[in-house]
Chain A
Protein backbone atom coordinates (compact mmCIF):
# COMPACT_ATOMS: atom_id res chain seq x y z
CA UNK A 1 0.00 0.00 0.00
CA UNK A 2 0.95 3.62 -0.29
CA UNK A 3 1.34 5.94 2.69
CA UNK A 4 -0.82 8.98 3.17
CA UNK A 5 0.77 12.23 1.98
CA UNK A 6 3.22 13.76 4.43
CA UNK A 7 5.83 16.49 4.53
CA UNK A 8 9.47 15.51 4.74
CA UNK A 9 12.48 17.34 6.13
CA UNK A 10 16.09 16.18 6.43
CA UNK A 11 17.86 18.70 8.66
CA UNK A 12 21.62 18.53 9.13
CA UNK A 13 21.74 19.71 12.72
CA UNK A 14 20.19 18.33 15.87
CA UNK A 15 18.82 21.70 16.96
CA UNK A 16 17.07 22.17 13.64
CA UNK A 17 15.56 18.68 13.90
CA UNK A 18 14.27 19.33 17.42
CA UNK A 19 12.76 22.59 16.29
CA UNK A 20 10.98 20.87 13.39
CA UNK A 21 9.68 18.14 15.69
CA UNK A 22 8.21 20.75 18.00
CA UNK A 23 6.70 22.71 15.10
CA UNK A 24 3.94 20.31 14.09
CA UNK A 25 1.61 18.39 16.33
CA UNK A 26 1.87 15.20 14.35
CA UNK A 27 5.55 15.33 13.43
CA UNK A 28 7.56 12.09 13.86
CA UNK A 29 11.28 11.54 13.76
CA UNK A 30 12.45 9.06 11.12
CA UNK A 31 15.49 6.96 12.04
CA UNK A 32 16.05 3.76 10.03
CA UNK A 33 12.37 3.48 9.13
CA UNK A 34 12.24 -0.29 9.58
CA UNK A 35 9.09 -0.12 11.71
CA UNK A 36 7.68 3.31 10.97
CA UNK A 37 7.64 3.09 7.17
CA UNK A 38 5.79 -0.26 7.03
CA UNK A 39 3.25 1.15 9.50
CA UNK A 40 2.80 4.21 7.33
CA UNK A 41 2.34 2.06 4.23
CA UNK A 42 -0.30 0.06 6.05
CA UNK A 43 -1.85 3.37 7.08
CA UNK A 44 -1.64 2.46 10.73
CA UNK A 45 0.45 5.57 11.14
CA UNK A 46 -0.06 8.88 9.36
CA UNK A 47 2.36 11.56 10.54
CA UNK A 48 1.95 14.98 8.97
CA UNK A 49 5.71 15.60 8.95
CA UNK A 50 8.64 13.20 8.92
CA UNK A 51 11.89 14.60 10.29
CA UNK A 52 14.68 12.40 8.91
CA UNK A 53 17.54 12.20 11.41
CA UNK A 54 19.88 10.49 8.93
CA UNK A 55 21.95 13.53 8.01
CA UNK A 56 22.72 14.65 11.54
CA UNK A 57 26.40 13.86 11.97
CA UNK A 58 26.15 14.38 15.75
CA UNK A 59 24.09 11.19 16.09
CA UNK A 60 26.51 8.85 14.25
CA UNK A 61 29.34 7.57 16.44
CA UNK A 62 30.49 4.84 18.77
CA UNK A 63 33.11 6.21 21.14
CA UNK A 64 34.79 5.15 24.32
CA UNK A 65 35.58 7.65 27.04
CA UNK A 66 37.14 6.36 30.25
CA UNK A 67 35.06 3.40 31.39
CA UNK A 68 31.97 4.09 29.32
CA UNK A 69 31.00 3.61 25.72
CA UNK A 70 28.70 6.14 24.09
CA UNK A 71 26.68 5.10 21.07
CA UNK A 72 25.02 7.72 18.89
CA UNK A 73 21.32 6.96 18.38
CA UNK A 74 21.62 6.77 14.58
CA UNK A 75 24.20 3.97 14.69
CA UNK A 76 22.79 1.08 12.67
CA UNK A 77 22.48 -2.41 14.11
CA UNK A 78 25.24 -3.45 11.71
CA UNK A 79 27.54 -0.73 13.02
CA UNK A 80 26.82 -1.77 16.61
CA UNK A 81 27.37 -5.45 15.76
CA UNK A 82 30.69 -4.85 14.01
CA UNK A 83 32.15 -2.02 16.12
CA UNK A 84 35.62 -3.01 17.32
CA UNK A 85 35.16 -0.79 20.37
CA UNK A 86 32.05 -2.72 21.39
CA UNK A 87 33.37 -6.16 20.44
CA UNK A 88 36.39 -5.58 22.64
CA UNK A 89 34.75 -3.81 25.55
CA UNK A 90 31.06 -4.64 25.51
CA UNK A 91 30.60 -7.74 23.33
CA UNK A 92 27.11 -8.43 24.72
CA UNK A 93 25.61 -5.44 22.94
CA UNK A 94 27.41 -6.23 19.69
CA UNK A 95 26.24 -9.84 19.82
CA UNK A 96 22.60 -8.84 20.41
CA UNK A 97 22.73 -6.33 17.55
CA UNK A 98 24.08 -9.03 15.23
CA UNK A 99 21.03 -11.18 15.93
CA UNK A 100 18.42 -8.55 15.00
CA UNK A 101 16.11 -9.24 12.05
CA UNK A 102 17.87 -9.76 8.73
CA UNK A 103 20.69 -8.09 6.81
CA UNK A 104 18.54 -5.32 5.41
CA UNK A 105 17.05 -4.46 8.79
CA UNK A 106 20.54 -4.43 10.33
CA UNK A 107 21.88 -2.17 7.60
CA UNK A 108 19.10 0.39 7.94
CA UNK A 109 17.61 0.03 11.41
CA UNK A 110 19.16 2.06 14.21
CA UNK A 111 19.61 1.57 17.93
CA UNK A 112 17.80 4.81 18.77
CA UNK A 113 14.87 4.04 16.48
CA UNK A 114 14.49 0.53 17.83
CA UNK A 115 14.45 1.78 21.43
CA UNK A 116 11.98 4.59 20.73
CA UNK A 117 9.65 2.16 18.95
CA UNK A 118 9.95 -0.26 21.89
CA UNK A 119 8.72 -3.49 20.44
CA UNK A 120 8.58 -5.75 23.51
CA UNK A 121 10.24 -8.56 21.54
CA UNK A 122 13.15 -6.47 20.28
CA UNK A 123 16.67 -7.73 21.02
CA UNK A 124 18.41 -4.61 22.37
CA UNK A 125 16.37 -4.29 25.59
CA UNK A 126 17.59 -7.67 26.92
CA UNK A 127 21.23 -6.66 26.50
CA UNK A 128 20.69 -3.08 27.69
CA UNK A 129 18.79 -4.26 30.78
CA UNK A 130 21.67 -6.60 31.63
CA UNK A 131 24.16 -3.79 30.98
CA UNK A 132 22.20 -1.24 33.08
CA UNK A 133 22.40 1.16 30.14
CA UNK A 134 21.62 4.85 30.39
CA UNK A 135 19.88 6.79 27.63
CA UNK A 136 20.42 10.44 26.88
CA UNK A 137 17.24 12.08 25.61
CA UNK A 138 17.11 15.51 24.03
CA UNK A 139 14.38 17.97 23.15
CA UNK A 140 14.11 21.70 22.69
CA UNK A 141 13.50 21.93 26.42
CA UNK A 142 16.95 20.47 27.14
CA UNK A 143 18.34 17.03 27.83
CA UNK A 144 18.04 14.36 30.49
CA UNK A 145 19.50 10.95 31.15
CA UNK A 146 17.30 8.02 32.15
CA UNK A 147 18.01 4.37 32.91
CA UNK A 148 16.83 1.77 30.41
CA UNK A 149 14.43 0.44 33.04
CA UNK A 150 12.74 3.83 33.45
CA UNK A 151 12.77 4.45 29.71
CA UNK A 152 10.85 1.32 28.71
CA UNK A 153 7.38 1.82 30.17
CA UNK A 154 4.97 -0.54 28.44
CA UNK A 155 4.86 -2.32 25.08
CA UNK A 156 5.36 0.32 22.37
CA UNK A 157 5.45 2.97 25.07
CA UNK A 158 8.51 4.77 26.42
CA UNK A 159 9.06 7.72 28.70
CA UNK A 160 9.92 9.92 25.67
CA UNK A 161 7.99 13.17 25.80
CA UNK A 162 6.48 14.83 22.71
CA UNK A 163 9.26 16.41 20.67
CA UNK A 164 11.95 14.42 22.46
CA UNK A 165 14.31 11.92 20.81
CA UNK A 166 16.87 9.36 21.93
CA UNK A 167 20.28 10.91 21.28
CA UNK A 168 22.70 8.47 22.86
CA UNK A 169 22.98 5.09 24.56
CA UNK A 170 25.61 4.80 27.29
CA UNK A 171 26.98 1.49 28.55
CA UNK A 172 29.87 0.65 30.83
CA UNK A 173 32.87 -1.20 29.43
CA UNK A 174 33.22 -4.74 30.80
CA UNK A 175 35.53 -5.20 33.73
CA UNK A 176 38.29 -7.85 33.66
CA UNK A 177 37.13 -11.44 34.06
CA UNK A 178 33.71 -10.80 32.51
CA UNK A 179 31.99 -13.03 29.98
CA UNK A 180 28.67 -12.55 28.26
CA UNK A 181 26.25 -14.19 25.83
CA UNK A 182 23.00 -13.39 24.02
CA UNK A 183 20.80 -16.29 23.02
CA UNK A 184 17.40 -16.26 21.44
CA UNK A 185 14.64 -18.37 20.08
CA UNK A 186 13.28 -16.36 17.22
CA UNK A 187 10.14 -16.26 15.17
CA UNK A 188 11.18 -17.64 11.82
CA UNK A 189 9.45 -14.99 9.73
CA UNK A 190 10.14 -11.74 11.56
CA UNK A 191 13.25 -12.66 13.50
CA UNK A 192 11.70 -11.15 16.62
CA UNK A 193 12.53 -12.93 19.87
CA UNK A 194 10.02 -15.37 21.28
CA UNK A 195 12.56 -15.52 24.08
CA UNK A 196 15.85 -13.60 24.17
CA UNK A 197 18.31 -13.85 27.06
CA UNK A 198 21.33 -11.63 27.65
CA UNK A 199 23.68 -12.76 30.39
CA UNK A 200 26.83 -11.27 31.77
CA UNK A 201 28.93 -13.08 34.36
CA UNK A 202 32.06 -12.17 36.24
CA UNK A 203 34.04 -14.77 38.17
CA UNK A 204 36.97 -14.50 40.51
CA UNK A 205 38.56 -17.24 42.64
CA UNK A 206 35.88 -19.74 41.59
CA UNK A 207 33.01 -17.57 42.81
CA UNK A 208 30.55 -15.46 40.85
CA UNK A 209 31.39 -11.82 41.43
CA UNK A 210 28.94 -10.33 38.96
CA UNK A 211 25.70 -11.63 37.49
CA UNK A 212 23.45 -9.68 35.19
CA UNK A 213 20.58 -11.13 33.22
CA UNK A 214 18.05 -9.42 30.94
CA UNK A 215 15.18 -11.06 29.10
CA UNK A 216 13.09 -9.95 26.15
CA UNK A 217 10.04 -11.36 24.36
CA UNK A 218 8.87 -13.30 27.40
CA UNK A 219 6.49 -10.73 28.86
CA UNK A 220 4.94 -7.46 27.75
CA UNK A 221 8.18 -5.76 28.63
CA UNK A 222 11.83 -6.74 28.82
CA UNK A 223 13.10 -7.18 32.35
CA UNK A 224 16.08 -7.80 34.56
CA UNK A 225 15.85 -11.25 36.08
CA UNK A 226 16.75 -10.11 39.59
CA UNK A 227 15.90 -13.47 41.16
CA UNK A 228 18.41 -15.18 38.85
CA UNK A 229 21.08 -12.57 39.61
CA UNK A 230 20.60 -12.93 43.36
CA UNK A 231 20.81 -16.72 43.13
CA UNK A 232 24.21 -16.37 41.42
CA UNK A 233 26.11 -13.57 43.06
CA UNK A 234 28.70 -14.71 45.58
CA UNK A 235 28.02 -18.39 44.87
CA UNK A 236 30.66 -20.88 43.70
CA UNK A 237 30.68 -21.41 39.94
CA UNK A 238 29.21 -24.86 39.42
CA UNK A 239 26.82 -26.31 36.85
CA UNK A 240 24.28 -26.72 39.65
CA UNK A 241 24.49 -23.05 40.64
CA UNK A 242 23.90 -21.93 37.05
CA UNK A 243 21.01 -24.29 36.34
CA UNK A 244 19.42 -23.66 39.73
CA UNK A 245 19.47 -19.90 39.17
CA UNK A 246 18.17 -20.25 35.61
CA UNK A 247 15.01 -21.89 36.94
CA UNK A 248 14.03 -18.47 38.31
CA UNK A 249 14.15 -16.79 34.87
CA UNK A 250 10.40 -16.28 34.55
CA UNK A 251 9.78 -15.65 38.26
CA UNK A 252 7.24 -12.92 38.95
CA UNK A 253 6.38 -12.19 35.31
CA UNK A 254 3.24 -12.94 33.36
CA UNK A 255 4.47 -14.64 30.17
CA UNK A 256 2.81 -13.68 26.89
CA UNK A 257 0.38 -16.11 25.41
CA UNK A 258 0.06 -15.92 21.65
CA UNK A 259 0.10 -17.80 18.38
CA UNK A 260 3.86 -18.35 18.53
CA UNK A 261 4.17 -19.65 22.04
CA UNK A 262 1.79 -20.43 24.87
CA UNK A 263 2.58 -18.91 28.24
CA UNK A 264 3.90 -22.05 29.95
CA UNK A 265 6.04 -22.99 26.94
CA UNK A 266 7.50 -19.47 26.83
CA UNK A 267 8.36 -19.62 30.51
CA UNK A 268 10.02 -23.00 29.96
CA UNK A 269 12.08 -21.74 27.03
CA UNK A 270 13.07 -18.72 29.13
CA UNK A 271 14.48 -21.02 31.83
CA UNK A 272 16.31 -23.28 29.37
CA UNK A 273 17.78 -20.40 27.35
CA UNK A 274 18.82 -18.61 30.53
CA UNK A 275 20.76 -21.68 31.64
CA UNK A 276 22.46 -21.96 28.25
CA UNK A 277 23.24 -18.24 28.18
CA UNK A 278 24.77 -18.42 31.66
CA UNK A 279 26.87 -21.44 30.69
CA UNK A 280 28.09 -19.73 27.55
CA UNK A 281 28.80 -16.47 29.37
CA UNK A 282 30.82 -18.36 31.96
CA UNK A 283 32.78 -20.21 29.28
CA UNK A 284 33.73 -16.83 27.86
CA UNK A 285 35.02 -15.31 31.10
CA UNK A 286 38.71 -14.63 30.78
Chain B
Protein backbone atom coordinates (compact mmCIF):
# COMPACT_ATOMS: atom_id res chain seq x y z
CA UNK B 1 0.00 0.00 0.00
CA UNK B 2 1.12 3.52 -0.71
CA UNK B 3 1.61 5.94 2.13
CA UNK B 4 2.30 9.63 2.10
CA UNK B 5 2.02 12.61 4.33
CA UNK B 6 3.69 15.63 5.86
CA UNK B 7 4.82 16.83 9.22
CA UNK B 8 6.02 20.28 10.24
CA UNK B 9 9.00 20.47 12.58
CA UNK B 10 9.82 23.76 14.33
CA UNK B 11 13.50 23.40 13.44
CA UNK B 12 15.77 24.75 10.70
CA UNK B 13 16.72 22.30 7.95
CA UNK B 14 20.04 21.32 9.52
CA UNK B 15 18.54 20.64 12.94
CA UNK B 16 15.64 18.72 11.40
CA UNK B 17 18.11 16.63 9.41
CA UNK B 18 20.06 15.84 12.58
CA UNK B 19 16.87 14.85 14.42
CA UNK B 20 15.76 12.58 11.59
CA UNK B 21 19.05 10.69 11.84
CA UNK B 22 19.25 10.62 15.62
CA UNK B 23 18.99 6.97 16.64
CA UNK B 24 17.55 7.69 20.04
CA UNK B 25 14.96 10.12 18.74
CA UNK B 26 13.90 7.64 16.05
CA UNK B 27 13.69 4.81 18.56
CA UNK B 28 11.46 6.90 20.82
CA UNK B 29 9.23 7.89 17.92
CA UNK B 30 8.76 4.42 16.41
CA UNK B 31 5.56 2.97 17.94
CA UNK B 32 6.47 0.07 20.20
CA UNK B 33 10.19 0.23 19.43
CA UNK B 34 12.12 -1.66 22.09
CA UNK B 35 15.57 -1.49 20.60
CA UNK B 36 17.34 0.20 17.71
CA UNK B 37 20.98 -0.84 17.72
CA UNK B 38 23.55 0.32 15.14
CA UNK B 39 25.20 -2.61 13.37
CA UNK B 40 27.02 -0.65 10.67
CA UNK B 41 26.98 2.71 8.98
CA UNK B 42 23.34 3.74 8.62
CA UNK B 43 22.10 0.27 9.44
CA UNK B 44 20.32 -0.81 12.61
CA UNK B 45 18.89 -3.88 14.26
CA UNK B 46 15.39 -3.14 15.51
CA UNK B 47 12.91 -4.80 17.77
CA UNK B 48 9.31 -3.63 17.87
CA UNK B 49 6.45 -4.70 20.05
CA UNK B 50 3.21 -3.90 18.32
CA UNK B 51 0.13 -3.75 20.48
CA UNK B 52 -3.11 -2.76 18.81
CA UNK B 53 -6.27 -3.64 20.66
CA UNK B 54 -5.72 -7.21 21.86
CA UNK B 55 -3.28 -8.01 19.09
CA UNK B 56 0.27 -8.19 20.26
CA UNK B 57 3.29 -9.12 18.25
CA UNK B 58 7.02 -8.88 18.40
CA UNK B 59 8.81 -7.92 15.21
CA UNK B 60 12.55 -7.91 14.68
CA UNK B 61 14.54 -6.86 11.68
CA UNK B 62 16.56 -4.12 10.08
CA UNK B 63 16.30 -0.41 9.51
CA UNK B 64 18.49 1.04 6.80
CA UNK B 65 19.12 4.58 5.68
CA UNK B 66 20.51 5.34 2.24
CA UNK B 67 20.51 7.79 -0.63
CA UNK B 68 21.50 10.45 1.88
CA UNK B 69 21.42 13.92 0.43
CA UNK B 70 21.91 16.22 3.44
CA UNK B 71 19.97 18.18 4.45
CA UNK B 72 17.34 17.55 1.79
CA UNK B 73 16.35 13.90 1.66
CA UNK B 74 17.07 10.28 2.49
CA UNK B 75 15.49 6.92 1.97
CA UNK B 76 14.39 4.86 4.95
CA UNK B 77 13.90 1.11 4.62
CA UNK B 78 12.34 -1.08 7.30
CA UNK B 79 12.24 -4.85 7.10
CA UNK B 80 10.79 -6.84 9.98
CA UNK B 81 9.53 -10.33 10.73
CA UNK B 82 7.66 -11.91 13.58
CA UNK B 83 5.26 -14.71 14.42
CA UNK B 84 2.37 -12.67 13.07
CA UNK B 85 3.92 -12.05 9.68
CA UNK B 86 6.26 -9.65 8.03
CA UNK B 87 6.33 -5.97 7.26
CA UNK B 88 8.48 -4.27 4.70
CA UNK B 89 8.52 -0.65 3.82
CA UNK B 90 10.59 1.97 2.11
CA UNK B 91 9.99 5.65 2.03
CA UNK B 92 11.60 8.81 0.83
CA UNK B 93 11.77 11.62 3.34
CA UNK B 94 12.31 15.09 1.97
CA UNK B 95 12.84 18.28 3.88
CA UNK B 96 11.80 21.71 2.69
CA UNK B 97 12.00 25.04 4.49
CA UNK B 98 8.69 26.61 5.52
CA UNK B 99 7.74 29.54 7.72
CA UNK B 100 8.85 28.80 11.26
CA UNK B 101 10.63 25.55 10.51
CA UNK B 102 10.95 22.63 8.16
CA UNK B 103 8.31 20.60 6.40
CA UNK B 104 9.10 16.90 6.21
CA UNK B 105 7.26 15.09 3.44
CA UNK B 106 7.25 11.34 3.10
CA UNK B 107 6.10 9.04 0.39
CA UNK B 108 6.57 5.33 0.29
CA UNK B 109 5.29 1.85 -0.04
CA UNK B 110 4.47 -0.58 2.77
CA UNK B 111 3.84 -4.30 2.49
CA UNK B 112 2.42 -6.44 5.24
CA UNK B 113 2.15 -10.18 4.81
CA UNK B 114 1.59 -13.41 6.67
CA UNK B 115 -1.08 -14.11 9.26
CA UNK B 116 -1.62 -10.45 10.08
CA UNK B 117 -2.45 -9.61 6.48
CA UNK B 118 -4.58 -12.71 5.89
CA UNK B 119 -6.94 -12.18 8.79
CA UNK B 120 -6.58 -8.46 9.34
CA UNK B 121 -7.00 -7.16 5.80
CA UNK B 122 -9.77 -4.79 6.86
CA UNK B 123 -7.54 -3.15 9.45
CA UNK B 124 -4.22 -2.92 7.64
CA UNK B 125 -4.67 0.27 5.67
CA UNK B 126 -5.85 2.33 8.61
CA UNK B 127 -3.51 0.92 11.23
CA UNK B 128 -0.41 1.29 9.06
CA UNK B 129 -1.25 4.90 8.33
CA UNK B 130 -2.02 5.51 11.99
CA UNK B 131 1.40 4.21 13.03
CA UNK B 132 3.26 6.31 10.50
CA UNK B 133 1.29 9.38 11.61
CA UNK B 134 2.17 8.62 15.22
CA UNK B 135 5.85 8.29 14.36
CA UNK B 136 6.01 11.77 12.85
CA UNK B 137 3.76 13.32 15.49
CA UNK B 138 5.97 11.87 18.19
CA UNK B 139 9.11 13.24 16.50
CA UNK B 140 7.50 16.67 16.43
CA UNK B 141 6.48 16.21 20.07
CA UNK B 142 10.06 15.55 21.07
CA UNK B 143 11.13 18.87 19.61
CA UNK B 144 8.59 20.78 21.65
CA UNK B 145 9.42 18.92 24.86
Residues of A within 8 A of B (CB): 26, 28, 35-36, 39-40, 42-47, 117-118, 120-121, 154-157, 190, 192, 220, 256-260
Task: Tell me which residues across on chain B come within 8 A of A47, comparing CB atoms.
Answer: 54
Q: A43-B115, A44-B120 are in contact. Are A156 and B52 (CB under 8 A)?
A: yes
Give B contacts to A, CB under 8 Å. Answer: 52-57, 83-84, 115-116, 119-123, 125-127, 129-130, 134
Give 4 nearest A-B pairs by CB, closest first: A156-B53, A45-B54, A220-B126, A44-B55
* Chain A residues within 8 Å of B121, by CB: 258-259
Bound state CA distance, A141 and B43, in angstroms?
A: 43
What CA separation (Å) do A167 and B129 show in the bound complex? 30
- Taking a contact as CB atoms under 8 Å apart, the answer to whether B53 and A42 are in contact is no
Q: Is the CB of A117 within 8 A of B56?
A: no
B54, B83, B122: the one within 8 Å of A39 (CB):
B54
Q: Which of B119, B126, B127, B134 contacts A44 (CB 8 A)?
A: B119
In Å, the complex CA distance between A118 and B120 comes to 14
Is the contact region of chain B dominated by helix, strand, or loop, or is it mixed? helix
Q: Which residue of the partner chain, among A35, A45, A118, A220, contacts B129 with CB atoms under 8 Å? A: A220
The minimal Cβ–Cβ distance linking A83 to chain B, given in whole angstroms, is: 27
Give the residues in chain A near B83, CB-CB below 8 Å: 43
Give A82 Cβ to nearest chain B Cβ, in Å. Answer: 28
A157, A257, A260: which contacts B53 (Cβ < 8 A)? Answer: A157
Q: Which residues of A contact B129 (CB under 8 A)?
A: 220
Residues in chain A near residue B126, CB distance under 8 A: 120, 155, 220, 256
Chain B positions within 8 Å of A43 at CB level: 83, 115
